[in-house]
Chains A and B, each alone.
Chain A
Amino acid sequence: MNDCAKYLRRISAFHDGELPPDAERELREHLAGCESCRLELERLAALSELIRSKTSEWSTPAFRWPADGRAVRRNVIIRFAVKWSAAAAAILVVCLVRLVLLNGAETEPLQAWERVAVLGRSAIMPPIAQADRGELETAMLLVGDTLNGEENSSYE
């Protein structure tokens, strides 16, 4: 196994002073005899130095905090209330729109077999059209029922 490949990953932690003592000692011994790993360490040091020097020049705004924090708490409560009020309003609007759409929609007339299936279980069934009657009677004979609610026993 190539020694440098083994040590390369540790160089970053060594640079940060985060290697355990044993691993640090071992890496130091390797660095003493390895030019390419020493160079890698120098590159990491240069990178850190570059980032720190450049970012330390960034001007930072002065953050001020109100002396008693009450104003902040008030703002937090207002923000919270506004956020949840908006969410509640949105849900309400969606519900209203859905309700209006459902009320306005025309329902498809029931097929004869569907009426048979629910007949006797629902008191609010729409009246049966004369045109459907023959078809319905045939269907009900098959399931052993009549339109008057009398049980048909002719198939028993």
Chain B
Amino acid sequence: MIHRRAKQVDPDEQLVRRIRDGDAGAFSAIVDRHGAGLYRVALAMCGNGADAEVLVQDSFVAAFEGVAAFAGKAMLRTWLTRILMNLAAQHRRRENVRKAARLGAVSEPAARQAEGGKDFEIDFHEALNSLEEPFREVVVLRELMGMSYDEIGEALQIAAGTVESRLFRGRQKLKELLADYLPPDDVLRSRRSEQ
């Protein structure tokens, strides 16, 4: 008896094929598979749950409209992420214009400092916001999505070597900014010796 190993088929690939064959309902499975991951990236990029939700919805709508043109060279997740990152960049530009118009307003971090509060989520968003956009993008895609350098390069249209150097610099900055939340060096040393 001959045993044939079934060829592993990417579920995303199957879903895209179904959509191309006219099964528009298959898109809801794509939304279920990628919604949460994209939302976390959107939230990290814009720091606001309501805006993140709109960004993800808009990304899915754009993907739905363009799925027929999706060549399938990149992974579906990478393609969806690229759409999301483009929309997030547009959103950020609009926000910057809006913030520039609010000159007299007290900034959120300043208001919180006055209260003496400390919250990882706020500090994390603040730290991410202080990174320049190219560094923030690679850090978010690596740390939150666990994407490979090639995937990140594909999503952001940059070389894998550029991903490596941006990630290095982004992490160096982030390490300084989140130092209060990281274990001190002697704890890290002792942790390693235990291993």
Contacts and interface: CB of A to CB of B under 8 A. Distances in A.
Interface of A: 9, 12-13, 16, 18, 38-39, 42-44, 46-48, 50-52, 54-55, 58, 60-70, 72-73, 75-76
Interface residues of B, number: 46
A151 B106 CA distance: 79
Nearest to A18: B149
A60 B188 CA distance: 32
A68 B25 contact: yes
Given A43-B182, A51-B143, A63-B35, A9 B191 contact: no
A144 B188 CA distance: 99
Contacts of B164: 9, 12-13, 18
Nearest to A38: B192
Contact of B24 (A18, A48, A69, A75): A69
Contacts of A47: 171, 174-175, 178, 182
A41 to B, nearest CB: 9
B142 A65 contact: no
Contact of B39 (A42, A63, A73): A63
Contact of A16 (B24, B120, B149): B149
Contacts of B70: none
Contacts of B74: none
Given A16-B149, A43-B188, A46-B188, A61 B64 contact: no
Contacts of A66: 28
Nearest to A62: B35
Contacts of A73: 64-65
B148 A18 contact: yes
A48 B168 contact: no
Q: Which residue among A16, A65, A66, A70 has the maximum number of chain B CB atoms within 10 Å of its CB?
A: A65
Contacts of B167: 12-13, 16
A64 B143 CA distance: 26
A68 B24 CA distance: 5
Contact of A69 (B39, B53, B64): B64
B31 A63 contact: yes
A76 B183 CA distance: 49
B62 to A, nearest CB: 9
B192 A42 contact: yes
B182 A65 contact: no
B185 interface: yes
Given A63-B35, A65-B31, A50 B178 contact: yes
Contacts of A67: 25, 28
Contact of A72 (B40, B64, B175): B64
Given A44-B175, A60-B39, A73-B65, 9 more contacts: A12-B171, A16-B149, A18-B160, A47-B182, A55-B40, A60-B40, A63-B60, A75-B61, A76-B64
Contacts of A18: 148-149, 160, 164
Contacts of B88: none
Contacts of B171: 12, 44, 47
Contacts of B144: 51-52, 55
A107 B5 CA distance: 87
A110 to B, nearest CB: 46
B121 A60 contact: no
A58 B43 contact: yes
